[in-house]
Structure 1
Amino acid sequence: MSAKKPGRKFYIITSIVVLFLTAGFVFYKIKKHNFLDHQLQSIVKEKTHELYKISYDSISVDEIGGDLYIKNIYIKGDTARQLELINKNDTNATAVIFDIFVPMLKVVDFKTARALLSKQMECRQIVISNPQVRLYLFPGQGKQKDDKKKQEELYKQLLGNFKLMKADSVSVINAQVVASDFFSKEVKFRTFQTTVNLSGVAIDSTYNQDTSRTLFCKEIGIKSDKIIFGDKKNTAEASFATFDTRSKIVAFSSVSYDAFKNSGFFKTELQGISLSGIEWLGPVENSDLIVDKVIINKGELETLLDDSKDSKSKQNKEGRILTGWIKKFSLNSLQVKSVNYISRTTEENKRPFQVKNNSFLIKNISIDRTAAFNGKLINQAKEIDLYNDEISIRSADNIYEYKVSGIRLNSKTKSISIKSLRIIPQLDEAAFARKARYQIDRYNIIIKDVRCSNVDGEKLVRGEIDIESINTVGSSVKVFRDLSYPIDSISKQGQQMTYPHQIIHKLGLPIKIDKFVFSNTYIEYKEKNPKSENSGRVRFANTALTLKNVSNHKPRDGEKIVVSFKTNFLDEIPLTGGFTFSLDQWQKGVFTAEASIANNIHATTLNQLTEPMGLIKVEKGEIHSLTFSMKADTNTSNGTLLMPYEDLKVSLLKKKGDEYAKKGIFSLLANLAVKNSNKEGSNMRTAQVVITRNKYRSFFNFIWMTVFKGLRDVAVIKI
C-alpha cells in the first residue's frame, strides 16, 4: 500500500508528535534538563517553520528499566502564523494545523547507548494514552509541492541530526479527534474511543525509499467505536470502524446518513460494510477516492423526490452527493446482499415505490461534484449491472403474494430482463371466495421471460417506467369469479374503474411503454355458475398479443392504447381481433373490441362453456364463421355480431347429482325457439346488441355478456 492512503495526514501528525518526543528523551539522557527546558521548544519551532509550540507538565525516567513518562503534553498550532504564511503565498503553509493534548506518554526500553554512539534513536514501544486532537483544515493549502518533494522534506524535518529513528510499536489509545474547516467553522468529522497501532516504525533515508511501508510503518491498525462526519444538522455516522494495512480493508459495523435533516433527498442505514483496494489521492480537502470493492450485508435506503414546479433548481442546489472533501469518487464494484428501498415523492396522492430484500451488484461507478441524488445519477455510472434473485411482497390483506424472480438490469445496454413476474393467490378458489364474501376476481398471473429494451434508467430511479419495448414468452393470465356469492353493492366504486387503461392510471407511478408483445400466452376467464355448481372456462391458448402505446401520461386528443391478438379460442378455434382503449377518455372507460373466426367449427365445441355457464347443450350444428365488434364505456356497450351457421340443435339441462340431465319438454320447446340455420346472403341475421353494464362485474364479464347476447339474438327467436 502506497503513502497515498486514507487518513495519512492524521498518522503523519501522530508520528511527528511521538518521534519528536523520542528525540527529546535521548537528548535528556545526554544533556539532562538543559535540552528539555531550553532546546526542545526551539527545535520544534524551527523544524515546523514556527507553526507549533510544545510544552508539558512533568517528566520522569526509570533509569533502570529505561522507560520515560511525560504528563500533560501540549502541542499547539499557531493559526496566526499559518495565516501569515498563506497571505505571503509561502509554500510552507500546510493543509492542516492541529492542537494536541496528551495526558500521558510512555516510552518503553530506549536503546540509549546506540543513541549516544551512532545517533540512532530506538525504543521497544511508545504508548500515547487518551489524546485529544483538534484539526483545523485550510482548503487549498499544501498543493504547491508535489507529493514526493513534500515527503522528502518531512523525513528531513523528523530526522534532524539523527540517522535513524525506530520503534517496534506505537500505540495511540482512546483518542478523540475533531476536524473542522478553519474559515467556515464547519465540523468535518469527529472520532470517539479510537485506537491506532503502528508496528515496525522506522525513519531514515533507506526507509524513505521503502515502498512496502506506509507512514514509516510496516503495518497500521485502526479501531474506532464511532466516527461522525459533518455538523449536527447534516450528519453521517459510522460505528465500530476498523482498518489495517495487512488486509487493506476498511470495515464498519454500521453506517447511517440522514440528509432529510438538512432538506436533503435521502437517508440510509447500512450494516456490515467492507471496502477493499482503497486509494485516496490528492490533498485531504480536495481528494479523489478510488475503491476497488465494497460489500454491504444489509441496508435501508429511503429517497424523497421533489415533484414541485421548482424542484429542478432546488435539487441542483441541495441534492449534491459529493459536497465535502471528495471531488471525485470511483468504485469498481458494489455488492449489496440485502437492502430495503423506498422512494417517496412530495406529491400527496402518489404511493411510495418500495422494494424489499433486494440484492445487487453495481460495477464501474464514477461521479464527481456535479452528481446529484436524482434520476441522472444512474447515468454517472459507466455500467450498472444489477441482479436480483427474487423480490417477494405480500399484499396488506395477505390475499396475494407479488414475486419477481431473476431480475437483471444493465445501464450500459439499457436493458432489463426478468425470469418471471407473478401474482400468486394465497388461497384456492373456494377459500378465496369465502374470504372475499362477495363476487370479486381472483387473479393468478405468471409473466415469463421478460425482455425490456431501451429502458430510461434516469426515469426508473425516479420511480417512472419509460421503456421502448417489452417482450415475454410463455406467460399465463387466469381470472376466476364465483357467482354464487352476492354482489358488493355497498362499495361506492364497485368495479367501475377496472378497465385496463383505468388500472394503469391508478398504479401511482408514470408509465410509458411503446410496445408490449406477449408470445405463446395462455389467457383464461373462469366463472362458477351457482345453478350448475360448475365453472366454465373461456380459454385463449397460444396467444400472440401486442399492445402499443401503453401510457398513463397526459394524453393527446384521440390518443389510444392499441391491442391486437391472434389466439386459439377454447384451445382449438383460430381467433383474431383487437382492442383500442381511449386514453383521452380513460375516466369514462371508452374502448372498442373486435374479433373474428374465419374457419368452420363444430358447434358442439361450445358445450364446455354453455353447459356449466348456461345449462345449455349443443346437440349438433356447424358454425361457418363469426365476426364481432363492440364500442363501450363504463355504462353501456353497443355491439354487432354476425354468425352464419346451419343444422343447429340444442337441449336444456338440469343438474342431477354430479351430472347433467336433459329437460325433456323444455328442450323440445327450446329447439322450437332456436333458429335452425342462419345462412349467408341478404337474409342473414345480424345481432345489434346494447348492454347496460353491471358495474359490479368485471371487464371480462362485460365483454362476454355482450358476445353472449349477440349469439342469443342471432340464434333464438324473439318471443
Structure 2
Amino acid sequence: MITIGKKIGIIILITITSIVLLHVVLGFWIENRLEDLLNNNTEGSYQIGYSGIDLHSLFNGATIERLEIKPNTGIHDQAVSIYGTTRRVEINGLQWMKLLTGKTLQIKDMILERPEFTVYISTDTTRRREPGKSFQNLFKNIISAAELQGFYLESGRVKFLKFDANDTIQYASIDRVDIEALNIETDSVIMSYIIPFQLGRIKTHFAGIQYQPDEFSIITADSVSFDSQTEDFSASNVSMKLTNDWIDVSRQMGDQQDIIEFDLKKLKINNLVAKSTLYDTLDIEASSIYIDSLILKDHRNKNIPRKNEPVKPLFAGMIRQIPFPLNVDSVVISNSHISYTELGEGRTEPGTLQFGNLNGRFSRITTSPAIQGPLEKIEATISGNINGNASIQLELLIPYEDDRFYAHAKISNMNALVLNKTIMPLADVRISSGKIHGIELTMDANSNTSGNSLNLDYENLGVELLIENKNDPGQRYGFLSGLFNTAIRQNNLPSENGYKSANYVTTRNLKRGPFNFMWQSIKEGMVVIIPSNTASLFINKSKK
C-alpha cells in the first residue's frame, strides 16, 4: 500500500523529471529554431554557422560560440567577398514564447564580441567593387534573421586584401571597429548607414586605419567616428606619407607631377545629413566643416620628363570636378600650413615657399547647380604668414557661373632675405639686403588671363649673382652684381619721387592651378616694378 507521503514524493519526482525533460526538450527545440532562423534567409548571399549555442537561464537569452560567416560563392566569383568570425555572440531579451508560436526570432539586442572580418576585393576594374555595400548586405543578412531593437559590434577588426588570378595582397586594415545601432526597424531597409535599416540612432567608431593606395604612399588615421543623433562626423590624426624621400619617389614615378604629403590633426563635420553610406558613395550635406592643423606639402621635380598634363581648372572648375554631391554652409581652416617645394631643372637643391599659421573661411560651397544659382558665389578670407615672417591676407570671390575669380592679397612688412630660401635654389641670385614694407595684389582672373594691379613697397634692395659651383655654391659675381645693383630700383616707396606701381595682364599657365596663377601674377608684377634685368633672374629659371 502506497502511503500519502510516497504518493506526494512520486508526484514531485515526476514533476521534477517532467520539468527537466521539458527544459531539455524545449532548449533543444529553441536551439534548433535559432539555427533554422539564422540560416533561413533564402535570399541571403552569406552562410552563418557556429560551434554551439548556450541558452541562458529561463531561456531569456543565448550565447552563440564561434560564429562564422562566409559567402555562398567563392572568392573569385565576386568582386567583393567578406569572411568573418566572431568569438562570441550574446543574444539578450529572447522572446522564446513568441519563438514557439511564430516564425520570427524576437530579441532585445545582439552583441558581436571581437569579430574579425577579411574582405577580398578584385583588382579587375571592370567589376563593380563596393566594399561598403558588401558590409551592408552582410549585416542585413545577420540582423534580418531576427526582429531586434539593438545591434552592437564591439572591438572588431577588418583587413582588406586585393586579389587577381595569381596573387592576394593585403593593402588596408582597421584595428578596431565599434558599432552601436538602436531602435532597428528590420522591415524598413534604408541604405544610408552601414546597418541598412531605419534606425533610431547609430554610432560608429573606427580606429587604427591604414590604407596603401599605391607603392608610393600610405594613408593612416587614428580614428573616424560618426553619431547620427548629434549628426557629427570626426576624424583625427589623418595623414598621407610617402614610402621614400619625395625626390626618390618622383624618379620612381617617372612622370613630372605634383607629389603630395599631408598631416591633419582634426576634421569635423557638423550637422551631417547622411544621404549615403559615407564609405563608398559620398553625399555630404552639412552646416560646417572644420579643418584643424593641416600640414600640406606639395613637391615637384622639374628634372623629370613631363607627359601630357590635362588643363587644370580654377576654383569653380575644381568644385565642379568633386565626384560626389556636396552642400556645406561653411568650411573653416585653422592653424594650418602649406608648402610648395620645387627642384628646378638642372638643380640639386630644392627651393621652398611656405605659408604658415593659415586661418580661413569659405562660405556657401555646393556642387548642386540648383543651389549655386541663388548663392551666386563663394566668399573666402584667409590669413597667414610667408616663410614664417610676413603676414598675408587674402580675400576671394568665386562666381559659380564660370571659371573665374577675384582676388585681393596683402603682404605686410618683411625682411627681403627671408625669400632666399625660396629663390636661391631656383635661380643664380641671392638677396643681400632689403626691407619689404608691403605687397598688394588685385586680380580679375578668368580661365586664360588675369587683369592685375600690384603695389610693391621696398627699400635698400641689394642682389648678388651666384656661380653655380658645387665646390663653392655661395660664390658670387662681384663685378656683375655691382652692375645689376646699379640697374635695379633699390627703393620704391610711395613717399619718394619715382614711385612705381604695375597694371598688367598675366597669361595663365593652363597646366597649373589658381594658387600658381597668383604667384605667377606677383612675379610678373615685380618685373614691371623692378627693372627686368634683375627681375628676370628671379623668374626665368622657375618658369617652365
Report TM bin, short chain: 0.7 to 0.9
Question: Does residue 487 in structure 1 map to residue 306 in structure 2?
Answer: yes
Supply the distance in 2 between the matched residues of 1:335 and 1:601 (Cα, whole angstroms). Answer: 55
- 1:392 match: 210
**Is the Cα–Cα contact under 8 Å of residues 466 and 475 in structure 2 kept in the other structure?**
yes
Question: Does residue 238 in structure 1 map to residue 48 in structure 2?
Answer: yes
State the secondary structure of the residue aligned to 1:438. Answer: coil
State the secondary structure of the residue aligned to 1:230. Answer: coil
- 2:452 match: 639
Letter in 1 for 2:521: T
- 2:417 match: 604
Supply the distance in 1 between the matched residues of 2:335 and 2:197 (Cα, whole angstroms). Answer: 35
Change (3 A) 1:303 1:424: closer
- 1:250 match: 64
Q: Give 1:501-516 correspondences, 5 Å limit.
A: 501-503=316-318, 505-516=320-331
Letter in 2 for 1:254: E
Change (3 A) 1:227 1:410: closer
- 2:492 match: 678
Supply the distance in 2 between the matched residues of 1:574 and 1:509 (Cα, whole angstroms). Answer: 35
Change (3 A) 1:378 1:253: closer
Supply the distance in 2 between the matched residues of 1:331 and 1:299 (Cα, whole angstroms). Answer: 24
Whose Rg is larger? Answer: 1
Supply the distance in 2 between the matched residues of 1:226 and 1:271 (Cα, whole angstroms). Answer: 19
Question: Does residue 709 in structure 1 map to residue 524 in structure 2?
Answer: yes
- 2:86 match: 272
Q: Which region of structure 1 is more displaced relative to structure 2, 525-534 or 416-425?
A: 525-534
Superposed CA deviations along residues 107-160 of structure 1, whole A, max 9, x for unmatched, are xxxxxx9xxx96999xxxxxxxxxxxxxxxxxxxxxxxxxxxxxxxxxxxxxxx
Letter in 1 for 2:117: K
Letter in 2 for 1:251: E
Change (3 A) 1:279 1:699: same
Match of 2:441 among 628, 631, 637: 628
State the secondary structure of the residue aligned to 1:395. Answer: strand
Change (3 A) 1:323 1:250: closer
Q: Give 1:195-234 correspondences, 5 Å limit.
A: 202-203=17-18, 228-231=39-42, 234=44
Match of 2:228 among 397, 411, 428: 411
Supply the distance in 2 between the matched residues of 1:612 and 1:713 (Cα, whole angstroms). Answer: 23
Change (3 A) 1:641 1:332: same
Q: Which region of structure 1 is more displaced relative to structure 2, 437-446 or 456-465?
A: 456-465
- 2:405 match: 591
- 2:538 match: none
Supply the distance in 1 between the matched residues of 2:198 and 2:160 (Cα, whole angstroms). Answer: 20
Letter in 1 for 2:85: Q
Supply the distance in 1 between the matched residues of 2:172 and 2:285 (Cα, whole angstroms). Answer: 19
Supply the distance in 1 between the matched residues of 2:401 and 2:234 (Cα, whole angstroms). Answer: 31
Supply the distance in 2 between the matched residues of 1:434 and 1:471 (Cα, whole angstroms). Answer: 35
- 2:290 match: 471
- 1:693 match: 508
Letter in 2 for 1:578: E
Unpaired stretches in structure 1, ≥5 consecutive residues: 1-112, 122-161, 167-200, 260-265, 306-318, 343-353
Letter in 2 for 1:386: T
- 2:177 match: 360
Change (3 A) 1:684 1:497: same
Shift in Å at residue 403 of structure 1? 1.8
State the secondary structure of the residue aligned to 1:474. Answer: strand
**Is the Cα–Cα contact under 8 Å of residues 275 and 291 in structure 1 kept in the other structure?**
no
TM-score (norm 2): 0.76
State the secondary structure of the residue aligned to 1:533. Answer: coil
**Is the Cα–Cα contact under 8 Å of residues 189 and 198 in structure 2 kept in the other structure?**
no
Change (3 A) 1:304 1:333: closer
- 1:541 match: 356
Supply the distance in 1 between the matched residues of 2:429 and 2:202 (Cα, whole angstroms). Answer: 59
RMSD: 4.1
Question: Does residue 619 in structure 1 map to residue 432 in structure 2?
Answer: yes
Change (3 A) 1:714 1:455: same
**Is the Cα–Cα contact under 8 Å of residues 596 and 628 in structure 1 kept in the other structure?**
yes
Change (3 A) 1:643 1:705: same
Unpaired stretches in structure 2, ≥5 consecutive residues: 74-79, 120-129, 162-170, 535-544
**Is the Cα–Cα contact under 8 Å of residues 535 and 612 in structure 1 kept in the other structure?**
yes
- 2:126 match: none
Match of 1:669 among 476, 483, 505: 483
**Is the Cα–Cα contact under 8 Å of residues 579 and 591 in structure 1 kept in the other structure?**
yes
Shift in Å at residue 249 of structure 1? 0.4
Supply the distance in 2 between the matched residues of 1:499 and 1:520 (Cα, whole angstroms). Answer: 24
Question: Does residue 556 in structure 1 map to residue 375 in structure 2?
Answer: no
Change (3 A) 1:571 1:322: closer
Shift in Å at residue 477 of structure 1? 1.0
State the secondary structure of the residue aligned to 1:668. Answer: helix
Shift in Å at residue 503 of structure 1? 4.6
Shift in Å at residue 686 of structure 1? 1.9
Letter in 2 for 1:594: H
- 1:660 match: 474
Supply the distance in 1 between the matched residues of 2:426 and 2:63 (Cα, whole angstroms). Answer: 69
Change (3 A) 1:677 1:638: same
Shift in Å at residue 531 of structure 1? 5.0
Q: Give 1:130-169 correspondences, 5 Å limit.
A: none
Change (3 A) 1:217 1:456: closer
**Is the Cα–Cα contact under 8 Å of residues 225 and 241 in structure 1 kept in the other structure?**
no
Supply the distance in 2 between the matched residues of 1:712 and 1:290 (Cα, whole angstroms). Answer: 75
Superposed CA deviations along residues 392-419 of structure 1, whole A, max 9, x for unmatched, are 22124x2222222222222222212222
Superposed CA deviations along residues 426-482 of structure 1, whole A, max 9, x for unmatched, are 221220221233321111111112233212234454532223222233321111112
Shift in Å at residue 538 of structure 1? 0.9
Letter in 2 for 1:619: S
Letter in 1 for 2:233: I
Change (3 A) 1:285 1:228: closer
Change (3 A) 1:428 1:280: same
State the secondary structure of the residue aligned to 2:235. Answer: strand
Match of 2:338 among 500, 507, 523: 523
Shift in Å at residue 378 of structure 1? 7.2
TM-score (norm 1): 0.59
- 1:650 match: 463
**Is the Cα–Cα contact under 8 Å of residues 185 and 199 in structure 2 kept in the other structure?**
no
Change (3 A) 1:380 1:243: same
Shift in Å at residue 595 of structure 1? 1.3
- 1:23 match: none
